[in-house]
Structure 1
Amino acid sequence: MKILLTGGTGFIGSRLMSHLRPHHQVSVLSRSPNKVYQRLGHDIDALPSLDDLPDLDQFDAVINLAGEPIADKRWSPSQKTRICHSRWRITEQLVEKIKAGSNPPAVVISGSAVGFYGRQGDTLVDEDTHPHPEFSHEVCSRWEELAQQAETEHTRVCRIRLGVVLGAEGGALVKMLPSYRFGLGGPIGSGKQYMSWIHIEDVVNLILFLLEHEECNGAYNATAPEPVTNAQFSKTLAGNLGKPHFARVPAWTMKLLFGEMADLLLTGQRVMPVRLQQAGFHFRYPTLDKALKETLSAPRL
């Protein structure tokens, strides 16, 4: 299969590439081909832009994972613009090229996030849950709308709403570990907000699953079937590290440091992967304890 991948040098994209390369011919779209070669190897076909391609008929599939990290910086007006445009513009361009062809890719798998739902308290959330309007929903909703425009009788579209991804190569866990290893880890705010998480290997496997199963289309919650509260997550992480668990980060401190972006950490969603499980997907790491044990044993951590 010939696959076009965006976000190939990122946290998820890099791990996905290690599974795709032995079996498929992959082209990675990146404004920095040198970055692609450094991270993925010089045998990779790196495309600096879509401008020279009249269409995407040469590809069997498109996997779209590109986007500015949403929780890395305070949400200034300029950062909000970067977060939106880094997702929306590339998705628009991909759809334009798909529509320009006469033999388009059979499938588009496009990233999104559980932020689509906005804050949901302790309500069990599935793919049909009505979202709470706020910035994270705005970003994801428009992102998904653009991706969905690629769908025709020839092209199916799968939208994956990712939770907090756990892995040794990057993501939220790597940022949390230093304080926990010093015995200073603890819940954020009340700790009652839910965290919907997923092990990175399950992310890769579900992308491969959606790639291969032609009956799959629409939105899929890419989260493990055991969402936990922030306090439960914190306690489990501290326990796996053999560290105490008594520190707590007050909500006001988070808001002072991160402004509006703190809402991502202080509110949450209790998301269930209903459509994935109905489709027959099985999680390798369904429980947080198992996922953390594997991740923390990885060489990079």
Structure 2
Amino acid sequence: MKYHKIILAGGNGQLGKALAGYYKDLAEHVIILSRKAAPTKGNINTLVWNSRTPGDWVKELEGADLLVNLCGKNVNCRYTKENREEIICSRVEPTRLLGKVVDGLINPPKLWINAASATIYRHAEDRPQDEETGEIGYGFSIDVCKQWEQAFFETETPHTRKVALRISIVLGHNEGALPRLINLVKAGMGGHQGDGQQYVSWVHEQDVVKCTEWLLQHPEINGVLNCTTPNPIKNTDLMKELRNACGVPFGLPAPAWLLEMGAALIGTETELILKSRWVLPKRLLDTGFQFQFAKVEHAIKDIISIRV
């Protein structure tokens, strides 16, 4: 075994499952902190926590190689007052709790990776945004990102290295954005959304997973890091690649006004589709990280080929 213990807080979602599957053969123990109990699977154990108060789970963080915090309500919803509060609290409260816990441990985790979002950057169609020259945007989603990162960095953890991983849209096999887009394509509605010129920054879930181990192996890296492919793509080109992969020759486009109506009906926000996210992973590339899936057509084909 290469690692002793991997802790995944909020590890029942898309990325948590991918991380657990990856580290189960590389670590002696993989521990998921979840609000719901689950049976033990080999060396993967689930511990119940409420993400707001300490409990018996605290002692399991002692001696961990890696703590990954993935907690946060899905933003694919209408931004009502209630949902806005839950989106913020579900990110800030667990992060602050883990900060206090880590600060009080005798042998705290060597590395703490906190999920963050690449949507913190402004709408960008003029130039790409990276960690050094990127400009922070404005609006509710950006406010969430700022509060999330502030909660992460506000606690001093001298014996635990910290990385805020600004993750773009994650392409995965059974959850997230890609299955929904594939369903649109197969229903004949896989044309561009809006004017189609907005950039989509994306990353294959396996590259996110491999990025976490890369950070484990490179102790000189800390702070803010963009986790997104070096090859973002315009919405119109993304939908074309999806149609090609699915063997669908044509897709009806969805203008902005139609998206507004549809978003209201299905309970989401058009920002998730229309904002131009042109983000580059400068720091990762500078350290030599190589993406397994750097081109979207390869990522899509991989995901479709083994989708269950």
> What TM-score, normalized to structure 2?
0.90
- For residue 124 of structure 2, give the secondary structure of its aligned residue in structure 1: coil
1:95 aligned to 2:99? yes
- Describe the superposition over 1:140-162 as per-residue Cα deviations: whole angstroms up to 9, x where unpaired: 11111111234543111111111
Instruction: State how far apart, in whole Å, the 1-side matches of 2:181 and 2:58 are.
Output: 44
State the Cα distance separating 1:60 from its structure 2 match: 3.1
Asked if 2 retains the 8 angstrom alpha-carbon contact of 1:118 and 1:134, the reply is no
**Identity among equivalent pairs (%):** 32
- For residue 22 of structure 2, give the secondary structure of its aligned residue in structure 1: helix
Asked if 1 retains the 8 angstrom alpha-carbon contact of 2:24 and 2:43, the reply is no
1:18 aligned to 2:26? no
Counterpart of 2:272 in structure 1 is: 264
- Describe the superposition over 1:88-108 as per-residue Cα deviations: whole angstroms up to 9, x where unpaired: 111111001011223322110
State the Cα distance separating 1:256 from its structure 2 match: 2.8
1:46 aligned to 2:46? yes
1:9 aligned to 2:12? yes
- What is the RMSD of the two structures over their aligned residues, measured on CA atoms? 1.8
Counterpart of 1:138 in structure 2 is: 143
State the Cα distance separating 1:210 from its structure 2 match: 1.0
Asked if 2 retains the 8 angstrom alpha-carbon contact of 1:122 and 1:193, the reply is no
Asked if 2 retains the 8 angstrom alpha-carbon contact of 1:92 and 1:147, the reply is yes
Asked if 2 retains the 8 angstrom alpha-carbon contact of 1:121 and 1:267, the reply is no
Instruction: State how far apart, in whole Å, the 1-side matches of 2:294 and 2:164 are.
Output: 21
Instruction: State how far apart, in whole Å, the 2-side matches of 1:283 and 1:11 are.
Output: 19
| Correspondent of 1:194 among 196, 199, 202 | 199
Counterpart of 1:287 in structure 2 is: 295
- For residue 124 of structure 1, give the secondary structure of its aligned residue in structure 2: coil
The 10-residue stretch of structure 1 (259-268 or 276-285) with the greater mean CA deviation from structure 2: 259-268
State the Cα distance separating 1:120 from its structure 2 match: 2.3
1:242 aligned to 2:238? no
> What TM-score, normalized to structure 1?
0.92
CA distance 1:184–1:143, shift in 2 (3 Å) = same
Counterpart of 2:66 in structure 1 is: 61
| Correspondent of 1:86 among 81, 87, 90 | 90
Counterpart of 1:252 in structure 2 is: 257
Instruction: State how far apart, in whole Å, the 2-side matches of 1:184 and 1:23 are.
Output: 42
1:120 aligned to 2:124? yes
Aligned length: 295
Asked if 2 retains the 8 angstrom alpha-carbon contact of 1:183 and 1:244, the reply is no
Asked if 1 retains the 8 angstrom alpha-carbon contact of 2:129 and 2:280, the reply is yes
State the Cα distance separating 1:43 from its structure 2 match: 5.1
- For residue 125 of structure 1, give the secondary structure of its aligned residue in structure 2: coil
- For residue 56 of structure 2, give the secondary structure of its aligned residue in structure 1: coil
Asked if 2 retains the 8 angstrom alpha-carbon contact of 1:123 and 1:269, the reply is no
Instruction: State how far apart, in whole Å, the 1-side matches of 2:251 and 2:21 are.
Output: 39
| Correspondent of 1:177 among 170, 173, 182 | 182
Instruction: State how far apart, in whole Å, the 1-side matches of 2:156 and 2:202 are.
Output: 28
Superposed counterparts of 1:67-78, under 5 Å: 67-71=72-76, 73-78=77-82
Instruction: State how far apart, in whole Å, the 2-side matches of 1:218 and 1:74 are.
Output: 31
